[in-house]
Structure 1
Amino acid sequence: MECRDMLNAQAELWNLTFSFLKSMTLKCAIQLGIPTAIHNNGQPMTLHELHAALSLPINNKPNLWRLLRMLTHLGFLVVQDTSNNKEAVYDLTPISRLVINKADSSSLLPFPLAMLDFTLVKPSLYLGDWFKQDKLENFQMDHGCTIWELTGQRPEFNTLVNDAMTSDSSLISDYIINDHGNVFQGISSLVDVGGGSGSVAIAIANAFPKIECIVLDLPQVVGHLPTDGLVKFVSGDMFSNIPPANAVFLKWVLHDWCDEDCIKILQRCKEAIPPRDAGGKIIIIEMVVGSVGSMHRESQLLFDILMMTLVNGKERDEEEWWNLFKEAGFTSYKIVASLGVRSIIEVYP
């Protein structure tokens, strides 16, 4: 290898080594409230204006500039024209607009804050050790319990995880209902398995009033929620029993589990719905690895490593999905890859 090639390879090695600092830079920007400050200002802001708006110590003004430089490099912010020796002004991009702190449910801010919480980041530090172990989940090896057990033990962690899932559900439900509402045609009842606080089920019930919507989740997730609202909340275990309905909805559930557990969940789903000629089906929102272009492939592969890190699950390609469906007793499926990195999968008994 020539010297130039070695130096270029070293630079790439450094980029990989320090990629975690991209995540920490993102977390810092969110915690400081940089996107929210620019949004509330109503127009782009200079370094001086941002420093004042964020109420930071004067000694950290040069460090704020360095942070903004990195955020601009990452495409999180954009610098507007600085010609004529004018001071640079920083504006939002589509990415940073997603994490503005808003009173409504349109912000995705809870998701990166949860994923970058030390409780969820720490297990990734021990992946090498975990590979040398036998059967024990990585998260369990580090924390002494599974992630689901920890949500039951620590209410603040449970809230952190649920808020993250709710923020994602609020975004994705709009696209499903507005662009793919046909998947709900002919359905009179639907069970959202692992539906959390019910944001997706509520959106479906509002858009399709004739559909009776039920949310099934763990007691620590739904036990405190009202039972007389637009949707019905049921505490339970999807491995044991799923309430009967025309359709079962599974958003980001199956990727949390190994193949054996997924087959069990799918079998409970099959028991809950009528035959296909009576309208029975499962609607799954998950990643199908390789179903989208190269722009999203890295996201899919990163999520696969995340599943390996936190739970005993994985992201699957189409063949892996079909193998699960067959093992669980289903006869056919249809994939629509139009939800960014995720797809809508309809599965029929």
Structure 2
Amino acid sequence: MESQNILNAQAELWNQTFSFVKSLTLKCAIELGIPNAIHSHGQPMTLSELHTALSLPACNKTNLLRLVRMLTHSGFLMVQNTGKNNEEVYDLTPISRLVINNSDSTSSLSSFVLGILQFTLVKPSFHLGDWLKQDKLEPFEMAFGCTFWELAGKLPDFNTLFNGAMTSDSSFLSQFIVKEHGNVFQGISSLVDVGGGCGSVATAIAKAFPKIECTVLDLPQVVGHLPSNGLVKFVSGDMFSNIPRADAIFLKWILHDWCDEDCIKILQRCKEAIPSKEDGGKVIIVDIVVGSDVGSINHQPQLLFDMMMMTLTKGKEREENEWSNLFKEAGFDSYKITASLGVRSIIEVYP
């Protein structure tokens, strides 16, 4: 029995050791266009049909089988014995449907997955151990000799890929924000989306609530070239210096990028930009609250993102008491957390 326990432990150790292969298999499936191929086919596909649709060399048909075997094991695809001659056929699952790219899907998460799994974002993790032994450079700086934001300013391709990932996530999440949490925008006549990129969330808010005047504030390299889309105004600026005045300031996945001191500065600029609570002023934050009740979803994604923030930036994912301390230090009086956006929450903060 003791021997079996040790062997089971070894198997679990292997499972954790090779977890990176699971991520890269997912990346490969999206790059090959497997979800798109099955979706376009309109029904489950045999291996031969999938191999033909992907236009892969004949010599790689067996390798494709090995790939889809892993994808079915991970839950990305499902397999059934319903093809011709009882041949196995492969179909999409709720997970793989999230990365379909077609004219009917404006909220595909394929760009998010590919943006996160680019080598630039993976490489800093190899420096994590060395970083923990010293108190100077961040892991990202150890890998590239500059901060994440500095590299984004230097490398247009990297900046485009990262912004594409964030836009993908924003387009996906905005549908749930406006449809299921529209009450947070009641009584608001103006809103500034700080760090809102190309304006995916702000545009969704403006469409759902036409009476709200929406503005996106972001760095010049992000919004300087973007024309008004008739719904959202784009303003180049620095959230650490000044935020345009509005009834509400919106911060989606912004504060987790920064250390506590910087978050307090950002929140102070937010407080300066909004009216009192009595006059409807508030800050709306969409971010992770570690340990919040996420229902049937486990907390591991929250912890994984925290580790990613530790390697890429000086930021972190925060527990409620950590959020509370930030709000207090920035001069806010109260807040309300609604944990109903998957692993993320909506936090309404009042001056």
Alignment of 1:266-305 (within 5 A): 266-291=267-292, 292-293=294-295, 295-305=297-307
Q: Which residue of 1 aligns with 2:33?
A: 33
Match status 1:73 vs 2:73? yes
Q: Which residue of 2 aligns with 1:215?
A: 216
Cα pair distance change 1:208/1:84, threshold 3 Å: closer
1:296–1:340 Cα contact (<8 Å) kept: no
- The one-character-per-residue Cα deviations of 1:173-204 (angstroms, maximum 9, x if unpaired) are 11111111010011011000000000110111
Q: Which residue of 1 aligns with 2:311?
A: 309
1:173–1:203 Cα contact (<8 Å) kept: yes
Match status 1:321 vs 2:323? yes
Q: Which residue of 2 aligns with 1:189?
A: 190
SS in 1 for 2:142: helix
Q: Which amino acid aligns with 2:233?
A: K
Cα distance in 2 for residues equivalent to 1:154 and 1:83: 48
What root-mean-square deviation, in Å, do the aligned CA atoms of Structure 1 and Structure 2 show? 1.4
Q: Which residue of 2 aligns with 1:162?
A: 163
Q: Which residue of 1 aligns with 2:98?
A: 98
- The one-character-per-residue Cα deviations of 1:108-150 (angstroms, maximum 9, x if unpaired) are 1100100110111111122111112213221111111111111
Deviation at 1:85, TM superposition (A): 5.2
Cα distance in 1 for residues equivalent to 2:324 and 2:49: 55
Q: Which residue of 2 aligns with 1:345?
A: 347
Segments of 4+ moved more than 6 angstroms: none
Deviation at 1:215, TM superposition (A): 0.3
Deviation at 1:283, TM superposition (A): 0.3
Deviation at 1:152, TM superposition (A): 1.2
Q: Which amino acid aligns with 1:106?
A: S
2:337–2:345 Cα contact (<8 Å) kept: yes
Q: Which residue of 2 aligns with 1:130?
A: 131
Deviation at 1:156, TM superposition (A): 1.1
Cα distance in 2 for residues equivalent to 1:83 and 1:228: 48
- The one-character-per-residue Cα deviations of 1:300-342 (angstroms, maximum 9, x if unpaired) are 0000001001111111111111010000000000011000000
Deviation at 1:296, TM superposition (A): 2.8
SS in 1 for 2:75: coil
Q: Which residue of 2 aligns with 1:248?
A: 249
Answer with 143-152 or 273-282: which moved more: 143-152
Q: Which residue of 1 aligns with 2:14?
A: 14
Q: Which residue of 2 aligns with 1:238?
A: 239
Per the normalisation by structure 2, the TM-score is 0.97
SS in 2 for 1:330: coil
Cα distance in 2 for residues equivalent to 1:135 and 1:323: 25
Q: Which residue of 2 aligns with 1:229?
A: 230
Q: 1:334 aligns with which of 333, 336, 340?
A: 336
Q: Which amino acid aligns with 2:3?
A: C
Q: Which amino acid aligns with 2:91?
A: D
2:46–2:83 Cα contact (<8 Å) kept: no
Alignment of 1:41-60 (within 5 A): 41-60=41-60
Cα distance in 1 for residues equivalent to 2:190 and 2:47: 54
- Show structure 2 runs of 5+ residues with no match: none
SS in 1 for 2:297: helix
Cα distance in 2 for residues equivalent to 1:189 and 1:233: 14
SS in 2 for 1:343: strand
Q: Which amino acid aligns with 1:247?
A: A
Cα pair distance change 1:200/1:84, threshold 3 Å: closer
SS in 1 for 2:181: helix
2:81–2:87 Cα contact (<8 Å) kept: no
Per the normalisation by structure 1, the TM-score is 0.97
Q: Which amino acid aligns with 1:226?
A: P
SS in 2 for 1:234: strand
Q: Which amino acid aligns with 1:339?
A: L
SS in 1 for 2:299: helix
Deviation at 1:227, TM superposition (A): 3.8
Cα distance in 2 for residues equivalent to 1:12 and 1:228: 51
Deviation at 1:81, TM superposition (A): 3.1
Deviation at 1:102, TM superposition (A): 2.2
Q: Which amino acid aligns with 1:102?
A: N
2:83–2:89 Cα contact (<8 Å) kept: no
Deviation at 1:160, TM superposition (A): 0.5
Deviation at 1:50, TM superposition (A): 0.5
Cα distance in 2 for residues equivalent to 1:85 and 1:332: 65
